[in-house]
Amino acid sequence: MKENKSPVSILGVDIKDVQKVELEILLEFDRICKKYHINYQLFAGTLIGAIRHRGFIPWDDDIDVSMIRAEYNRFLSIVKSELSSEYFFQTHETDPNYMNRFAKIRKNRTVFKEKLVKGLDMHHGIYIDIFAYDNIELDSLQGKFQIGLLRTLDSFFKYSNKTRYEILSPGFAKTMAKFKYRLIHFLLVSKREIDNWIMDRMIKFNHKNTEFLADLSNPSQGVLEKFMMRRQTLEDSIEWDFEGHKFPVPRAYDEVLSRAYGDYMQLPGVENRVSHHEIILIDLNS
């Protein structure tokens, strides 16, 4: 194993070797989705990579896909029986210490440990991210309350785990995170209760046929708006080349990427061509 604090070099490991494992995971995910006609799309930086590079952004260190919650639930219903034993499907239900509100598929017998969760007893393998899109009501009072509440909860619980607040630099933010952690433990609220309660808030409008959907796993101001999409956009896909394979992308990819990133075809400055996760440990074959 190689250990370092610099995420720029990916700890001396060629990022292409990490990307090769991620592509392998994506192909397994795609195999299952195609077998059961489950709709999904390449998402975020992976979508930029597909459109601009016909593959990975050269310095990108993960893969993102997105799907409407109904499609995600269909995937949930069959992933346990269909997913190869080489991989692990990670949610807060399958891995109780996992902190995120979106899912991952990780490769067993690999390590890709991020600084933010370094102390958590959970699966740390190389992964792809799976984001479920939920219905939102932009103009209703209930809709605004839903997003406001999720933003408050996200802020409150983000560093409520001891191993996460300890990485913060000394100061007000760390003091507040420590207070939140102690308050939650004083109230004897379990992580499972918190996870389930937040999930109920995320799917509040999924019984309706709203025009817009959003990734509510990250409801931060600005982020939610950038990645918000019309239902039609998420349902209307075309096949696109990515690392020599065909994967679904939004037909309206230009609209999606322009909203999120502006001039996405323009390469960033050299100083910004770095991986964006603080990786502290990599093992491609443990």
pLDDT in tens, 8-41: 457 778 899 999 999 999 999 999 999 999 999 9
Where residue 39 falls (left for φ over 0; alpha for ψ -120 to 50; beta otherwise) is: beta
**Residue range 243-262: mean pLDDT, rounded:** 96
Mean pLDDT over residues 118-144, rounded? 94
pTM check: above 0.75: yes
- For 106, the token pair is 């990780």
Phi and psi for 38 in degrees, rounded to 5? -95, 125
Element (H, E) at 47: helix 44-48
| Phi-psi map region of 43: left, alpha, beta (phi>0 left; psi -120 to 50 alpha) | beta
The three-state secondary structure class of 225 is: helix
Handedness of CA 121, 95, 64, 116 (dihedral sign): negative
Is the per-residue pLDDT at 6 higher than 80?
no
Q: Which of 220, 218, 121 is nearest to 162 (CA)?
A: 121
pLDDT at 3: 41
Q: Which residue has the tokens 């046929």?
A: 209
For residue 117, the model assigns a pLDDT of: 85
Sign of CA dihedral 26, 31, 36, 41: positive
